[in-house]
Chain A
Amino acid sequence: MKHSYLLIFLAFSLSQLFSEKLLAQHRVKGIVTDHTTGQTIIGTNILEKGTSNGTISDLDGSYELTVASSEAVLEFSFTGFASQEIPIAGRATVDVVMSEAITLLNQIVVVGYGTQRKSDLTGAVGSVKTKDIERIPTANIEQALQGKIAGVYVAPSSGVPGAGAVIRIRGTGTLNNANPLFVIDGMITYDASFVNPQDVASVEVLKDASAAAIYGSRGSNGVIIITTKSGVKRDHAVISLTSYYGTQQVTKQISMANATEFATLYNELRGQSYFPDPAALGEGTNWQNEIFRSAPIGNVQLSANGGTEMFSYNFSANYFAQDGIIKNSNFERTTLRLNLEYKLNSWLTLGNNISYANVGTQNSPDVITSAYRMPPVFAPRDSTGDFTDPTFFGLAIANPAADLYYKSNNHGKGNRLFGNIYAQVNFLKDFSFRSNFGFDRKNSQGKYFEPKFEVSASQRNVQDRLSVSYSLGNDWIWEQTLNYNKDLGRHHISVLAGYTAEERASEYFGASRENFPGTADELLYLSAGNDTTQQNYGGAVDEALVSYLFRLNYTLMDRYLLTVSFRRDLSSRFKEANRDGNFPSFSVGWNLGQENFVQNMGLFDRLKLRFSYGILGNQASASAYPSSGVVTSGLYGVFGPNEALNQGAILTSLANPNLKWETSRQTDAGLEIGFFKNRLELETDWYNRYTYDIIAAVPIPDYVGSQSDPVVNTAAVRNRGWDFTANWRQSGKFVWNIGATVSPVKNEVIKLAQGRNEIFAAFIQGEPASHTEVGQPIGSFYGYKVAGIFQNEDELATLPKIGGEQVGDVRYADLNGDGVVDGDDRTNLGSPIPDLIYSFTAGFEWKGIDFAADFLGSQGNMVFNAKKTFRFSVYNWEKSFTKAWTEENPSDTEPRITNGGHNYRVSDRFLEDGSFFRLRSISIGYSLPIAMLEKAKISKLRVFAIGNNLWTKQDYSGYSPEFPNGGNPFEVGFDNGGYPVAKSWQAGIEVTF
């Protein structure tokens, strides 16, 4: 057999390892069949153990191979089936029956600093494999996780092209920075947005304390371990090409008043006919159409995967490009990945996983808000072709079309080199030592040029200006871990001990100049500008963490499982006295399925009980130096006849030197069941997570004098809930699966620190819209309840009111019944935290056709439509205002048209149901029969089409109820208008050689 490998992606030196070295000595043949269906299996990999000699089973499932000796061992492997090693033992025919691997007990799951058999797990770990991820084309792995694992809530952080996601594991709104920790091939980061989903072999979500405790101080929000694909030993390289292309649109538009309605409302507001004939204005301009567009998205991925006994490799090159659904925004990224592993000898292995990403973006200005507010009576451009000056009663909103035109010369570039290099030494039979160095080097630059222009007095730039910014990030981690693994028949012991140190540092600077000699791209460098206008700034941030870790796993007779772990972390974010954090956990498991009395029942193929308890930490906070009061400089005093700037510097905000670790105690009880030959799998977990000393900045009275709120250990919150997962997988000629995850959670504040009874936050027009008190969910909405509308003078005179209302105004409820409406009548109005998140999946494969659909939903969360509460005289109205109260058409729900004031107080009037149910993705593919492909040396050719977010059921009036606000748990669920999520469809092709 002769193969010639054209590995255009690999260095020459690597290809030398694939030299040919076969001597025919023994010939073996056979047929491969499926255990469940009895059908033959096409395409099974068959390899002579310890060599690169192998073949693939053909159309009839039969194979033929010449091996070195009649005593050779054959390895049979096929995706989805358990691999087998079979000694030939002199036979000429070796027939093999393959069994499905999906639910096999020895499925390997990646856990922190190692792997474990799924059957040995005592913690709650959710696992997603490459196949489930690949189907949904997204720019990054974070978004691809949506709806995949019970208890994991993923929402797009925004629709900005290339943006990452906000992820909450087991309960939103628990902590200041509730984003989980990502561990990518051992390197720790909070930003996995650069990871190309197609490079990912598996994603494991460590949900409970037992699983996450090994990440101690940063495990309390859960840990997501991403393992990228490594090379697989086989006789030839698998080369794949995948490409797709598609288009995206905004999922929905907000229903706004048209020109006629706007003019009518405006006349009503001003009590005069400012617009003499509203009907003549017709529809006017739909400003959303002026900023949104249909935008293409595309991806090409080439990969090569293979290996020998000594060496394995996975190489990929990827180009992803996405235009934003808002004009003038786009994202493109080129990623290269090289994962290598060398087994140098019997005791030493070296390897690396390295990825390089190059990103380019164009950023559009924020036109979503101005498009929402712009009156429809204006056209984007006037009759002369100039941008319309929408000044109106002396006020103007920025014309979004003009902003897009003048403010889009805003580009970003970046490079990121991320990866790890490791060495592993196996010694004394049961020991191994691993030293892993991970690194994350980033540079990014931004360049923004704003030309001189004038649209209106408030939308103009009198001086053209170029601003540039540069930053350099350098994070590294060095881990030393020692493993002991001992199998003593009935007993299995494994011990892990380790020491890690890590540093995260970044440095930045920026500069600007004005007055450029032209606007051509080649002139837009700082030196071309006027040096008397130059400004610059620069700074740096760094932090460090040192940790000790230990874990013991003990298994008795594969039935009784025990895990004990401990981590000690020392963080630079805290002063020395509070620096140490100790995070122990223990967990036990019982594989009941292995017990005779269960096996005798003949009902369960698998039955396992798990229980875990542990303590985890969190050091997330607003800055790397929350404990240090920073002296702000540049606060100049101006003195003397020359009006000199005299340096001024002082503390302007309080720090908290007493800040300490945020801690959570987590209890988890789990049950895993397999029925019907593991076709039906059920997994359920109950958990109770008590998080205390929550680190967050909460508002303090202004008389304290601090310009920003100090970060404090503020509250204790309990998240209690269930994760249910059910899956049915049916194999055979018609392979199909259905599954569901359901995660009810209850969030409750148990205690507030600093002797406080309540925490107010999210102030809107002088009143808090968020309220946190013991017994309620954290960050509940707060305000007045609308009781109705004052319909007449009589009601105005007799019913409780605040004072100053007029007929047609909102009548707020006098909840305490004291006859007046005042601050004491404000109450909790609902929670932004869903009671329930859930997902469904369904799919089938039949005669080369594959189909899959994912649904996802949330129930019981409220949204505060904050953008609707800001009124300025010339803003447009949402359509709902056309039902406003008038004398002719009195309304019970919509007050008369006013500009801000009483009717816009924080109340349930602006609160909407945020529940939704969405078809997250749907895909259909067709794989050509192998018989047609063989001659072209193609092992797989699949064409596919995918739709994302094609259908959503939501009551919410905004673009999407999924718009998680930053990290502050006291200010969640406020829609201030953000880049909306897109729906999209793509078609593509996948070829494997």
Chain B
Amino acid sequence: MHKSYRNTWMLIGAAMLLMTSCKKDFLDRKPKGQLTYDTYFQTEDHALWATNAIYQNFRSWEMCAFPYIGITDIISDDADKGSTENDGLPLLQIDNFTFDATNEMFSLSWKGTYHTIFRANQAIENIPNIDMDEALRARLVGEAKFLRAYCYFRLVQWYGDVPIITSLLSDDEYFTQTRRPVAEVYDLIEKDLLDAAAALPLKSGYATADLGRATQGAAKGILAKLYMLKKEYDKAETQCLDIINSGEYSLLPKYADNFAEASENGAESIFEIGAVAVQAAVAGPGATPFNMIQGVRGVPNLGWGFNRPSDDLVSEFEAGDPRRQATIIYVGEVLPDGATIVQDNPEILNERYNQKAWVPAHAGLQDNGPGNIRILRYADILLLAAEALNEDGKAADALVYLNMVRARARGSNNFILPEVTTTDQAELRTAIRHERRVELAMEQQRWFDLLRWGIAGERMRAVGKDFVDGKHELLPLPQAEIDLSANNLKQNPNY
């Protein structure tokens, strides 16, 4: 045999051996610059980061912009679509009740809310198994449960029966889910909130740097709303009074301050989603589109001008109620930054804007919104307490809380907003409902209140909207979702 052949054989053999021996390492490839799920949820940092990520999705377009504003304020009698005549047609359909199941606002809000639930489920499933500080672990799971419950609370009010997802689904479960009865959804929300209330600290129990995380007060607040929805007034009363008696919250002296940046997470705030505009030309990682879509249209605010306070809302305010000015921006008004006067924009009919979503000039472009999204404030709880007490026949007690809210609004001007004194349940009910509307106007509460009171149809028709009883109390499930579910999801009645 030629010598070189022998060398060749040896070379071939060596090469093969070399390459075979390191095959496994060679083939195990991991995503670069990214953690993977199978090695996540192992440290305290992971637990914290995972929980923070749930909050983040509340700033997404789906959860705070068109879809959210559309099916909270614009759909109600508080607001019209706003902006220019032809801008945002899906929102116009919602405003006018001409929508059907293909309106993208439904699929977006549905999708965004389940995206958040997807994150919360991971935290709830995995954090308990992490070897870490026990108190922090309990708190983080509590935060996640609170956020999950709040998501389902939105869904159940919008859509009624919904699929209950509490874990990451495996691929054989993607298409088999069905809508669960409202009662089951309520049970999940109640259990999550009770767990959260037990695990979460009071607002004052948080370090300053953690201000804005879910608190015991926030959990009890949403729980109170759930009980109100279920007409379990005594339970609602208990939750509200717990919050009131906790000494954690107080009404700000000046109503309008509630929506100023300086009062973010202030004394009256029970829960809000933090947002910040970092220096960037494009939307920063802490920004929200919430302010942009409702901002004053045109230069310099660069808002889009959606969610216009309606004539009907304007007329709801009592004469001289300063809350009207604090809620609505009019043409010619000097804005709270003291500099800007709103110019007339001839393309917008009946020009008005939601002042509660207004933010002064900030870094970057319009989508770099810095304003926290207020979810629950103390005045809301006081009015819920009043409502629960009145429904339970404790009118005198109810008046205390109702008048607290009116007194604050009144300020030092004794000529406006007289005390309510009636103890007639029906009259007081009307007064409380009126008060809720003006106190919480344009704060995304009205539609849920109308549904809860069962007067959505009556009110909608009163403002000329084509509300159909037995249909429009629930929104349609997104058509795309029904198509994708292999018909395991059934549509709401009459859609």
What is A's interface to B at a CB cutoff of 8 Å? 347-348, 393-395, 425, 427-428, 433, 435, 457, 462-463, 465, 478, 480, 482, 499, 501, 503, 507, 514, 532-533, 535, 538-546, 570-573, 576, 579, 624-625, 628-652, 654-656, 658, 699-707, 710, 712, 754-758, 760, 763, 765-768, 802, 804, 823, 872-874, 899-901, 905
Check A457–B299 contact: CB distance below 8 A.
yes
Contacts of B122 in A (CB 8 A): 650-651
Contact with A629, one of B38, B101, B163 (Cβ below 8 angstroms) = B38
A-B pairs, top 4 by smallest CB distance, nearest first, are A705-B118, A873-B86, A394-B84, A638-B274
Q: Please, how many angstroms separate the alpha-carbon atoms of A579 and B23 in the complex? A: 12
Q: Please, how many angstroms separate the alpha-carbon atoms of A541 and B5 in the complex? A: 40
Check A635–B28 contact: CB distance below 8 A.
no
Distance from A538 Cβ to chain B, minimum over Cβ atoms (Å): 7
Q: A756-B175, A758-B486 are in contact. Are A637 and B53 (CB under 8 A)?
A: yes
Q: Please, how many angstroms separate the alpha-carbon atoms of A544 and B28 in the complex? A: 8
Distance from A512 Cβ to chain B, minimum over Cβ atoms (Å): 9
Check A499–B19 contact: CB distance below 8 A.
yes
Q: Give the residue name and chain of the B residue nearest to A768 (CB).
A: B483
Q: Please, how many angstroms separate the alpha-carbon atoms of A765 and B274 in the complex? A: 32
Contact with B49, one of A347, A539, A649, A755 (Cβ below 8 angstroms) = A649
Q: Please, how many angstroms separate the alpha-carbon atoms of A478 and B18 in the complex? A: 12
Check B23–A570 contact: CB distance below 8 A.
yes
Contact with A899, one of B86, B209, B265 (Cβ below 8 angstroms) = B86
For this complex, 12 residue pairs linking A to B, each with C-beta atoms less than 8 Å apart, are A347-B2, A425-B4, A499-B16, A639-B211, A648-B51, A649-B46, A650-B54, A651-B118, A701-B177, A710-B171, A766-B101, A766-B102
Check B27–A395 contact: CB distance below 8 A.
no
Q: A394-B347, A648-B55 are in contact. Are A625 and B210 (CB under 8 A)?
A: no
Asked if B433 is at the interface (CB within 8 A of a chain A CB), the reply is: no
**Could you tell me which residues of chain B, from 36 to 57, have a CB within 8 Å of some CB in chain A?**
36-38, 40, 45-46, 48-57
Contacts of A393 in B (CB 8 A): 84-86, 347
Check A703–B165 contact: CB distance below 8 A.
yes
Q: A544-B26, A572-B27, A637-B56 are in contact. Are A702 and B110 (CB under 8 A)?
A: yes
Q: Give the residue name and chain of the B residue nearest to A628 (CB).
A: B36
Q: Give the residue name and chain of the A residue nearest to B37 (CB).
A: A629
Q: Please, how many angstroms separate the alpha-carbon atoms of A347 and B7 in the complex? A: 13
Distance from B155 Cβ to chain A, minimum over Cβ atoms (Å): 9
Distance from A642 Cβ to chain B, minimum over Cβ atoms (Å): 7
Check B484–A760 contact: CB distance below 8 A.
yes
Check B276–A638 contact: CB distance below 8 A.
yes
Distance from A821 Cβ to chain B, minimum over Cβ atoms (Å): 12
Q: A427-B5, A705-B118 are in contact. Are A638 and B27 (CB under 8 A)?
A: no
Q: Give the residue name and chain of the A residue nearest to B12 (CB).
A: A433
Q: Give the residue name and chain of the B residue nearest to A431 (CB).
A: B5
Q: Give the residue name and chain of the A residue nearest to B35 (CB).
A: A631
Asked if B83 is at the interface (CB within 8 A of a chain A CB), the reply is: yes
Q: A633-B49, A765-B102, A766-B102 are in contact. Are A625 and B37 (CB under 8 A)?
A: no
Interface centre among A482, A539, A631, A655, by most chain B C-beta atoms within 10 angstroms, is A631
Contacts of A545 in B (CB 8 A): 27
**Could you tell me which residues of chain B, from 95 to 151, have a CB within 8 Å of some CB in chain A?**
98, 100-104, 107, 110-111, 114-115, 117-119, 121-123
Q: Give the residue name and chain of the B residue nearest to A753 (CB).
A: B171
Check A701–B175 contact: CB distance below 8 A.
yes
Asked if B319 is at the interface (CB within 8 A of a chain A CB), the reply is: no
Produce 1/0 per residue, B335-350, CB < 8 A to A: 0000000000101100
Contacts of B103 in A (CB 8 A): 766
Check B486–A756 contact: CB distance below 8 A.
yes
Q: Please, how many angstroms separate the alpha-carbon atoms of A655 and B209 in the complex? A: 34
Asked if B485 is at the interface (CB within 8 A of a chain A CB), the reply is: yes
Q: Please, how many angstroms separate the alpha-carbon atoms of A435 and B13 in the complex? A: 12
Contacts of B83 in A (CB 8 A): 394
Contacts of B19 in A (CB 8 A): 478, 499, 501, 546
Contacts of B302 in A (CB 8 A): 457
Q: Please, how many angstroms separate the alpha-carbon atoms of A480 and B9 in the complex? A: 12
Check A651–B40 contact: CB distance below 8 A.
yes
Contacts of A646 in B (CB 8 A): 48, 52
Check A804–B98 contact: CB distance below 8 A.
yes
Q: Please, how many angstroms separate the alpha-carbon atoms of A758 and B484 in the complex? A: 8
Check B53–A544 contact: CB distance below 8 A.
no
Contact with A650, one of B104, B119, B265 (Cβ below 8 angstroms) = B119
Check B483–A702 contact: CB distance below 8 A.
no
Q: A433-B8, A640-B208, A760-B484 are in contact. Are A703 and B26 (CB under 8 A)?
A: no
Check B15–A539 contact: CB distance below 8 A.
no
Check A647–B210 contact: CB distance below 8 A.
no
Contacts of B4 in A (CB 8 A): 347-348, 425, 427
Q: Give the residue name and chain of the B residue nearest to A454 (CB).
A: B299
Contacts of B20 in A (CB 8 A): 499
Q: Give the residue name and chain of the B residue nearest to A640 (CB).
A: B209
Produce 1/0 per residue, B468-486, CB < 8 A to A: 0000000000111111111
Check B117–A705 contact: CB distance below 8 A.
yes
Asked if B377 is at the interface (CB within 8 A of a chain A CB), the reply is: no
Distance from B359 Cβ to chain A, minimum over Cβ atoms (Å): 13
Distance from B119 Cβ to chain A, minimum over Cβ atoms (Å): 5
**20 additional contacts (CB under 8 A) given A628-B31, A650-B49, A768-B480:** A394-B87, A394-B348, A425-B4, A576-B24, A628-B36, A628-B38, A631-B37, A636-B52, A637-B51, A643-B276, A645-B285, A650-B40, A700-B174, A705-B169, A712-B171, A766-B103, A767-B102, A804-B98, A873-B86, A899-B86
Contact with B15, one of A435, A573, A642 (Cβ below 8 angstroms) = A435
Contact with A754, one of B172, B345, B485 (Cβ below 8 angstroms) = B172
Q: Please, how many angstroms separate the alpha-carbon atoms of A457 and B304 in the complex? A: 10
**Could you tell me which residues of chain B, from 310 to 334, have a CB within 8 Å of some CB in chain A?**
none
Q: Please, how many angstroms separate the alpha-carbon atoms of A428 and B265 in the complex? A: 85
Contact with B52, one of A463, A514, A637, A704 (Cβ below 8 angstroms) = A637
Contact with B53, one of A648, A654, A766, A899 (Cβ below 8 angstroms) = A648
Q: Give the residue name and chain of the A residue nearest to B59 (CB).
A: A638
Check A544–B38 contact: CB distance below 8 A.
no
Check B53–A572 contact: CB distance below 8 A.
no
Contacts of B265 in A (CB 8 A): 641
Check A755–B172 contact: CB distance below 8 A.
yes
Check B34–A631 contact: CB distance below 8 A.
yes
Q: A546-B27, A628-B36, A766-B104 are in contact. Are A640 and B210 (CB under 8 A)?
A: yes
Q: A394-B84, A433-B8, A873-B86 are in contact. Are A539 and B32 (CB under 8 A)?
A: yes
Distance from B436 Cβ to chain A, minimum over Cβ atoms (Å): 28
Q: Give the residue name and chain of the B residue nearest to A757 (CB).
A: B486
Q: Please, how many angstroms separate the alpha-carbon atoms of A757 and B86 in the complex? A: 39
Interface centre among A482, A503, A535, A648, by most chain B C-beta atoms within 10 angstroms, is A648
Q: Please, how many angstroms separate the alpha-carbon atoms of A638 and B480 in the complex? A: 33
Q: Give the residue name and chain of the A residue nearest to B173 (CB).
A: A704
Asked if B416 is at the interface (CB within 8 A of a chain A CB), the reply is: no
Distance from B260 Cβ to chain A, minimum over Cβ atoms (Å): 14
Distance from A114 Cβ to chain B, minimum over Cβ atoms (Å): 18
Check A703–B114 contact: CB distance below 8 A.
yes
**Could you tell me which residues of chain B, from 58 to 100, have a CB within 8 Å of some CB in chain A?**
83-87, 89, 93, 98, 100
Distance from B6 Cβ to chain A, minimum over Cβ atoms (Å): 10
Contacts of A699 in B (CB 8 A): 480, 484
Contacts of B177 in A (CB 8 A): 701, 703
**Could you tell me which residues of chain B, from 277 to 324, have a CB within 8 Å of some CB in chain A?**
278-281, 285-286, 297-299, 302
Contacts of B169 in A (CB 8 A): 654, 704-705
Asked if B160 is at the interface (CB within 8 A of a chain A CB), the reply is: no
Check B53–A635 contact: CB distance below 8 A.
yes
Contacts of A571 in B (CB 8 A): 27
Check A635–B56 contact: CB distance below 8 A.
yes
Check A462–B365 contact: CB distance below 8 A.
yes
Check B36–A630 contact: CB distance below 8 A.
yes
Q: Give the residue name and chain of the B residue nearest to A507 (CB).
A: B32
Distance from B65 Cβ to chain A, minimum over Cβ atoms (Å): 16
Q: Give the residue name and chain of the A residue nearest to B5 (CB).
A: A427
Distance from A266 Cβ to chain B, minimum over Cβ atoms (Å): 11
Check B481–A633 contact: CB distance below 8 A.
no
